Structures are given as structure tokens and as C-alpha cells.
Amino acid sequence: MALPVLAGLLGTLIPALDGGFDRLAEWPGLRGAMGLSLVTGFASTGVSLALALLLTAALYGTPAFVRVQRLLAPVLSLPHAAAALGLAFLLAPSGWIARAISPWATGWTVPPDLLTLNDTGGVALILGLVVKEVPFLLLMILSALPQTDAARRMMLCRTLGYGRVRGFALTVLPALYPQLRLPVYAVLAYAMTSVETALILGPTLPPSLSAQVVLWMNAPDLQGRGLAAAGAVVQLVLVIGALLVWRAGEILCRIALPALAQSGRRGLWLDQPLAILARVMGGGLALAMAAALAGLALWSVAGPWQFPDALPDRLTLSTWSRALPDLRDSAVVTLAIAALSTLAALALVLGCLEAEHRFALHPGAGAMWLLYLPLVMPQVAFLPGVQMLALQAGLGGTVLAVALMHLVFVLPYVFLSLSAPFRAWDTRIAAAGATLGAAPARVFWRLRLPMLMAPVLTAAAVGMAVSIGQYLPTLMAGGGRVETVTTAAVALASGGNRRLIGAYGLLQIVLPALGFVLELALPALVWRNRRGMRA
Amino acid sequence: MDRRRFGQLTALFALGASLPRMALAGEWEAVLAEAQGQTVYWHAWGGDPKINDFIAWVGEQAQAQYGVTLEHVKLASTADAVAQVLAERDAGKTTGGAVDLIWINGENFAAMKAAGLLHGPFAENLPNWPLVDVAGKPAVVTDFTLPTEGFESPWAMAQLVFEYDSARVATPPRSVTALADWAAANPGRFTYPQPPDYLGTTFLKQVLYGVMADPSVLQAPVDEASYAAQVAPLWAYLDALHPNLWRAAQAFPQNEPALGQLLADAEVDIAFAFNPGRASAEIAAGTLPDTVRTVTFDGGTIGNASFVAIPFNATARAGAQVVANLILSPAVQARAQDPAVLGFQTVLNLAALTPEDRARFDALSLGVATLSPAELGPALLEPHASWMTRIAADWVARYGVAQ
């Protein structure tokens, strides 16, 4: 896994050393771009994690939490670019909110000249990232929670008179966070290096460093590539530094938590305001996403739609009828690639984890970091080098090459979502099986795998969604010849045509959403008469 | 390039066109035979559904007439295709490349030609080449002052036109100075795509034409010694203009479609485009209000041509030439000029066409917002490519890192 990344990085470093760093140092926007990457990374990760934990702490076990769970699938499968475009239409001064209240409430007959998008502070960008990362972290929490014995811990806290949130922080969080750590790191690295969201919602004077690197890569003078390579290396160092700072923050929290426990305060008064806060913020996010999706859907069938009309003049299916033939072809290719890479990743991950269990192996921290390298490493830093490798191997431009490339990104996410529940499985069940004469293989196939069906399906759904959402790797490995729904959508997004973006955005949701619907429905169906298996 | 060398060049091409047709015809038969059954991967920007539909239609024609399958590889940026060919060369892949045909011009062409990444010369050997209006539209053989030398074949003419909503702007400005005055009177209602975007940098070049003491120096490469003094009026102009721009110049649209979307959303009153027929086509598609009209400047606006080029390692080289030739056919050119399809201006010399072919063009209506060739006014020549790179980089240093 590390091999393609390191080889790719080497392929990137060489042009960077060729004067790239000197020219990067001369670029006047460097400090601003670096600062923006750091601020948006920390702010969006911090807010996302806090909100996901707060929603869990305040609402776990309530009907509201079940509703949150149901909302996860559509939001998770929404590609970043489509989500950002949906939000952009909502928030722009000529967007849906302004149209809904104009001109009767505001007097605006033309849109006001307000900087609600691409604001220099990056607030819109942070919002766009939070909207996507909260559902991802919630999914990770949901798949880890059953292994933390959360219900009994919470009950114990309650009998001791602790409030829900304080009790969650003191008893469940210490068991939950270690399983959540790597997903959080991936979120932090992603937030700092996201390209599509930053280009659509982020500031542009200058943009965040990763967005600028892609702009340099696309610069027509071929010199831009050395600059881009140098920028990518700086981005990598920045991400590693940010991860170290986050780790220091974790250690501080670990020191602070026992002190909080020893204070003995029950924190009951916190529950009501925090529950309200969780509902308001969770509801606000859900509402924003729903409105963004509805906006995309409406644009895909909109005829003429001028400001300040709240709704289009008339509806038409012409966008859809034009998009469908193209979409059918690319949907087949997209699903084939996603299925290939996800199945390969599942087989590899399950094989590794089972071997780890049978031979009592303990993967060191180094092995973990190698596995997560593709997530932490800015894509722009190593993909050009990988493209070169694929070409030399004669693999460029095929579906297989794209699936292999996707495997590099799908594997860590599958491992990420599967390893914790797999390891947390109670091995006494295996011992019981063995005493009844079952071979290890039988234990694996008949006990462990079925009992872990929910996390395996979660991992598969995440893997599919990751594969479907890939843009740069698809473009690089496919040589432009392999068109997926996402490469088509991003190419269209550069043209700003909201109607087609709406159609493609919606269809991009449908494919991965199928996976998540199965992931939520199948265990509920199979375990309908096994209460203990339902989280 | 000076006028004399340019004259020699056009004479050269005229000569090429009059070479014995028999020999060429024989060669072309061989190309057609080789192209039969080939698949041509045309890497072209995929951001405009109208263009995508047009390319799909060209593909149907290529299949029906020549048995060539055309696959449109939809790019977010032409540079992706350039990077692909470059990566293939670096990997030692000198045949069987992924790119057969690229929609290209300006900087991308200059870079690929300089790096030896293009196949050619091929353009002047195409059977439809004699129909091209080399004398009347010199931009078809001069790409940003760089002679194309047959390494790319033209397929559409473009000229900068300003689009305005006549419901909100009664008399549109017709010079760069008038534009600045209008913006001062109507703050927040005009902007331009953020350089180094292609259209945004074109706007800067248009301003240069309007404010420079001697715009003829634009036809030569940037001269370091006099550059700062020559462009000082541009920065003075922008310093005065920016406070009156959309969002007070704290944000810029990123490209031509994004600027067009701002006009459609009524966020700005004046926008601009490189395709004189864009406004009419968008009105026909229902995305722009039917009150939008176009206008050019009194002293003329920048014009150039779009080309197709074939990479040195293209797999379907013959098929690519067949497609390049097909695009130059009167039937395809007339369809591209139809405002209901694309509204692109043709590269052909209408006087050189047969009466039947000329009738295809005469039958086209201009479209409600499109100017007639006479109303368009003079097309100013693109400055040397070094100006584009240089002013874009300086713009970024001055205004692009405001934080």
C-alpha cells in the first residue's frame, strides 16, 4: 500500500527540487494559503467532532437519534462537490434563501452585493466541510459504539446521578475515542487538503494551499508543475504538523478528563441546554443539506428561473433526457470499479485482521501509518508520480488500472471502519466455538463474520462511496478514457451549469446511497429476532 | 511577427493549397483507409452541454461518413490533456498514447509545440483546407502571434463581446474608460474572471489595448526593460476599478461559465464572453433573460481562433486527421454557427464555397442578441503569449493574495 504512495511521492519530489521550492518561497500568497489550510482544517474537524459527539451524547437512545441514523445514508453518499454546489446555491446572495424572502421582505429586485460565499475568512468553506464530516464521524461512532458497552455505562452513570452528557464524556468517550482516532485524523487531513469544496466555497485570494496546487498543476505553462510539486510537499509537512498538534490536544484531554471525574460534579444542569443545542445544530445541518439537495433536484428540472423568483417559471425534463444516455454508460463503469476495488479491499482487510487474530500479531504504529498514508498524504503530492508508474507498467487507461488506483484509497477506509469492531469482537465466543470442535476457519465463517455483518456492510458501503467519489485518481489512472459519474460531474461543475450539475449530483447520490440503504436495512432484517445484535 | 513575414506566411499557405491535388488526393485516400474502424479520443473541455452535444453530433457524422468512432473525453481543463501527453512522453510512451485529438489554442499550443509534443504539420494537407479564410481571418494561422505552421487546424472563430441586460443597462459602455465610469456609477454590478483564468486575462489584455500608449508593442515578446512603464496604466486602471467591482473585488468568478451564471442570476449587469453567439444560444436555452444584448468596443475587441491538434504519440493519427477535416466541412461549420446549436463563427471563407454550401450559412438567423459581422467591428490581434503569462502572474502578485 505504501509502495505506490512513496514511489509517487518520489516522482513528485524530483520536479519540486528542480527550482520549485525557490519559486514557491517567492510566491506572495504562501503564508495566507498555509494559514487558511490550518484554520479550516482545525475548525472544521473540531466542530465536526464536537457536534457528532454531542449528538451522540445528548440523543443516544432517543427517537431523535434514530432519525439522525436514517438521515445518514443520503448525506454520506453525497459527493463533496455536489454538496458544496448545493450549499452555494442556498447561501449565495442570488441563492434560494435570498429568493425566498425577496422582494416582499427585503425589497431586493437584484441580488445584494454581499460576500456570503468565498469569504476571506473561510467560514463558508468550514460550513461546507462540517456538513459532510459530521455524518461520516457519526457513522464511525455508530459502528464503534456497540463495542463500547455504551448502554450499560450510560445506565450506570445515570444511577449515580450523572447527567447524560457528563456521563458520556466520563465513561463512554474514553472507550470510544481510541476507535475513532484514525477516522478523526483522516477527517483532519481531508479538511486541510480538500480541493473541490475549497474551490467552490473557499476564498480565492489566495485559495487554500491544496486548491492552489491543483490550479498550478493545471497552469498551461508546463513550469507550473515544479511549483505544484513543491506546494504539495509543503502541504504534506503542514498536514503532519497539524496531526501532531491534534495528538497533543488528545493528550491534554486525557489528562483533563480524570480531573473532571474526580471533581465529582454530576453536570445535570448541562443536559437540557446541550440537548437543545444538539437538536438545533443537528437539525440546522440536516435542514441545510435537505434544502441543498432539494435545490439541486429542482434545478435539474427547472426551465427559466430568474432572480427573485422563489420557484422556476416552469418545469422541464429536457436536462434529464439529455443526461440519461451518458449517465447510464458512466454509471455501469462507476459501479464496476467500485465493486472491484471494494471487494478486493474487503478480502485484504478481513484476511489481515483474521491473520492478526489467529497468529496473535500486533501491528505496530508504523504499520498503521503506512496504511493511512494515502489518506494523510495530499493526493496532488503523489498521484502524478503514480500515473507515470501505471503508464510504464502498460496499465494506463483501463478500468482495471482505475480500480487498482481506487484500492489505494478504498483500503484504508475499509480498514478504518472495520478494524475496530473486528478487534473488539468478544474472542470468548471463538474459544467457546473451539471447545465445541470448530476449526478456526469455521469459527470465522459461521460466527465471527455473521456477527460482524453490520460493520462489514458499513465498511463495504463506505468503500463503495469512497470509490464512487474519487476524481483526481480516476482521471490520472484512467488517462481520461474511463469516465465515471464523478469525473463527468466535476467536468460539468467547471462549466457552472446548475441544471446538469443538479442532475449529475442527484445521480451521484443514488449509486452509493444504495449501499448505505442495504447497510442499514440488511442487519435490521436478518437480526429482527436477535435483540442483542441490534446496536 | 511583423506584417511582411506574415504576408510571406500566408503566401506560403496559398501555395500549399495549390499543390497538385492528385498527389494529395492519393495520400488522403490512404489516410481514409487507415482511419476506417479507428476510435478517436478527442480531449475537449466538457463544461458546456451545448458543445458536448455538438461533439456527439460530429461523432455521428464521423461514424456514418468515414467509419471513425469519436469518443469525447470531457476535460475540466485542457491542461489535463497536455499533462497526460507530457506524462506519456516522460514515461517513454512514444506510440499508443491516450490522446488522439485536443481542442487547444494559445498557451497550451505554445507549450506543446515548444516541447515537441505535437504531430505535424498536417493542417494544410487536409482536403478542406483551401476553404479556410486565411486571408480574411489571419488568426486561423497565427495563434497568439505564434505561427501555427500546420501543427493545429482551426475550427471556430471567437471574438470578445460584452453581454448586458438591456432591462437594467440602457446605454452600455463602448470603451475601457467608459466601462470604468459606468462601474463607478453602478458599483458592484461588473466583474471579471480571476486571472490566470483565460477569459479574465483576456480582459486584462483588452484593457491594455485601451490604456497603453502604444499597443503595437503587444505583438512582440515582453521587453523587460520597458515592461513596467508600459503596463503602469493597466495597474492604475485596475486600482481605480476594483473598489467598484462585484464584492468590491474581494472575490472573483473563477471562469467564463461562472461569470455567465452571475449574469443569469442578475448578480452583475455586464458580463463578457469569447463566443459572440453565446448570449443568443443561452437565451434560446432559457438560461438568460431575453433582454440580454451584446456590444463590442469602438476600437475593436480581441479575437482569436480555436484549434484541434494531434499529439505526437496519438494512437489513431489517421482518424484524428479525418475528424479535423470533417470539422472544416461546410455542413459542420454551418451547424456550429447556428445560434440554436453553438453560435460559433465559422473559419471558412464563404466566397470560396459552392452556392449550395453558402446557402447553408445564408439560411442561419443571427439570433436575437448576436451582432452581425459588420456590427462586431474589428478583431484585435492576440498579444504575444509572453504578455498573457506575465500580466497574469503580476495580477496574482498584486491582487490575488489580498489576505
**Do B122 and B176 fall into the same domain?**
no
**Do B38 and B127 fall into the same domain?**
yes
Burial class (CB in 10 A: 0-12, 13-18, 19+), A167: buried
Q: Which of A32, A388, A496 sits opposite B401 (nearest CB)?
A: A32
- Where do the H-state alpha helices sit in A60-172? 63-77, 80-91, 96-100, 123-144, 150-159, 164-167
Tell me which chain B residue has its CA closest to the CA of residue A118: B251
Which chain B residues are within 8 Å of A110, Cβ to Cβ? 168, 266-267
Q: Is B287 among the domain residues?
A: yes
* DSSP summary character for residue A169: I
DSSP string for A409-454: HHHHHHHHHHHHHHHHS-THHHHHHHHTT--HHHIIIIIIHHHTHH
B74/A487 Cβ within 8 A: yes
Q: Which of A205, A388, A392 sits opposite B402 (nearest CB)?
A: A205
Question: CB of A48 within 8 A of CB of A187?
Answer: yes
CA dist A204 → A34, B243, B365 (Å): 13, 17, 40
Per-residue model confidence as pLDDT tens digits over B274-321:
989 889 988 988 889 999 999 999 989 999 999 999 999 999 999 999
Q: Is the pLDDT of residue B4 over 50?
A: no
Number of domains in chain B: 2
Q: Is B193 among the domain residues?
A: yes
Tell me which chain A residue has its CA closest to the CA of residue B88: A391
Q: What are phi and psi of A88, to 5 degrees?
A: -60, -40
**Do B178 and B221 fall into the same domain?**
yes
- Chain B: nearest CA to A335, how far in angstroms? 19
Which chain B residues are within 8 Å of A481, Cβ to Cβ? 41, 71, 73, 98
Instruction: Provide long-range contacts, Cβ within 8 A and 24+ apart, for A104-112.
Output: A108/A308, A109/A308, A110/A307, A110/B168, A110/B266, A110/B267, A111/A307, A111/A308, A111/B265, A111/B266, A111/B267
**Do B19 and B137 fall into the same domain?**
yes
In three-state secondary structure terms, B104 is: strand
**Do B132 and B107 fall into the same domain?**
yes
Question: CB of A172 within 8 A of CB of A141?
Answer: no
Closest to A213 measured CA to CA, from A235, A195, A231, A239: A231
B47/A494 Cβ within 8 A: yes
A113/B246 Cβ within 8 A: yes
Strands B146-147 and B152-159: unpaired
Give the pLDDT confidence score for residue B247 in this predicted structure: 92
Closest to A371 measured CA to CA, from A417, A424, A421, A427: A417
**What is the residue type of A66?**
V
**Do B170 and B228 fall into the same domain?**
yes
Closest to A124 measured CA to CA, from A78, A93, A79: A93
Closest to A71 measured CA to CA, from A532, A509, A522, A523: A509
CA dist A96 → A305, A311, A491, A504, B5 (Å): 11, 9, 24, 20, 57
**Do B286 and B320 fall into the same domain?**
no
Helix (H) or strand (E) holding A258: helix A224-263
Tell me which chain B residue has its CA closest to the CA of residue A488: B74
A28/B86 Cβ within 8 A: no
In three-state secondary structure terms, A149 is: coil
Cis peptide before A79 (omega within 30 of 0): no
Sketch out chain A's domains with CATH numbers.
32-293 (1.10.3720.10), 311-535 (1.10.3720.10)
Tell me which chain B residue has its CA closest to the CA of residue A223: B111
Which chain B residues are within 8 Å of A388, Cβ to Cβ? 87, 90-91
Give the pLDDT confidence score for residue B236 in this predicted structure: 97
Question: CB of B302 within 8 A of CB of B380?
Answer: yes
**Do B219 and B109 fall into the same domain?**
no
Give the pLDDT confidence score for residue B356 in this predicted structure: 94
DSSP string for A390-404: HHHTT-TTSHHHHHH
Q: Is B291 among the domain residues?
A: yes
Which chain A residues are within 8 Å of B105, Cβ to Cβ? none
Which chain A residues are within 8 Å of B313, Cβ to Cβ? none
> Best mutation site among B73, B108, B242 for testing chain A: the one with the most A CBs within 10 Å?
B73
- Residues ≥6 apart with Cβ < 8 Å to B41: A480, A481, B71, B73, B98, B99, B100, B101, B315, B316
Neighbours of A344 (CB within 10 A): 18
Chain centroid, CA B151 distance in Å:
16
Residue with grid cell 467591482, as numbered in its chain? B245
Angle in degrees, CA B111, B35, B59, rounded to 5: 75
For B360, the domain range is 3-156+303-371
Helix (H) or strand (E) holding A510: helix A498-526
Question: CB of B148 within 8 A of CB of B142?
Answer: yes
Per-residue model confidence as pLDDT tens digits over B14-70:
444 444 444 567 889 999 999 999 999 999 988 778 898 999 999 999 999 999 999
Per-residue model confidence as pLDDT tens digits over B188-205:
999 999 998 889 999 999
Q: Is B185 among the domain residues?
A: yes
Question: CB of B253 within 8 A of CB of B339?
Answer: no
Bridge partners (DSSP) of residue B84 are none
Strand ordering across the sheet containing B270-273: B270-273, B161-165, B292-295
Residue with grid cell 475601457, as numbered in its chain? B176
Give the pLDDT confidence score for residue A435 in this predicted structure: 93
- Chain A: nearest CA to B174, how far in angstroms? 24
**Do B129 and B218 fall into the same domain?**
no
Which chain B residues are within 8 Å of A94, Cβ to Cβ? 262, 265-267
Percent of chain B at pLDDT exceeding 90:
62
Per-residue model confidence as pLDDT tens digits over B173-187:
999 999 999 999 999
Give the pLDDT confidence score for residue B14 in this predicted structure: 42
Kindly list the averaged pLDDT for each block of 10 residues, start to end, along chain A of length 535: 74 75 86 92 96 91 82 73 85 90 86 87 92 88 82 90 90 89 88 85 87 75 74 89 95 91 85 90 90 90 88 88 81 92 94 88 74 75 73 76 90 84 86 91 89 87 87 78 80 72 80 78 78 63
**Do B268 and B307 fall into the same domain?**
no
Q: Which of A29, A219, A222 sits opposite B86 (nearest CB)?
A: A222
Q: Is B175 among the domain residues?
A: yes
Which chain A residues are within 8 Å of B247, Cβ to Cβ? 113, 115
Q: Is B276 among the domain residues?
A: yes
Angle in degrees, CA B166, B167, B170, rounded to 5: 55
* Interface ipTM: 0.79
Give the pLDDT confidence score for residue B326 in this predicted structure: 97
Q: Is the pLDDT of residue B9 over 70?
A: no
> Best mutation site among A27, A85, A90, A204 for testing chain B: the one with the most B CBs within 10 Å?
A204
**Do B31 and B135 fall into the same domain?**
yes
Q: Is B376 among the domain residues?
A: no
In three-state secondary structure terms, A65 is: helix
Section B207-223 average pLDDT: 93
Per-residue model confidence as pLDDT tens digits over B137-150:
888 999 988 899 99
B81/A205 Cβ within 8 A: no
Q: Is the pLDDT of residue B5 over 70?
A: no
Give the pLDDT confidence score for residue A221 in this predicted structure: 60
- Chain A: nearest CA to B8, how far in angstroms? 29
Q: Which of A304, A480, A488 sits opposite B286 (nearest CB)?
A: A304
Residue B58 sits in a domain whose CATH number is 3.40.190.10
**Do B298 and B310 fall into the same domain?**
no
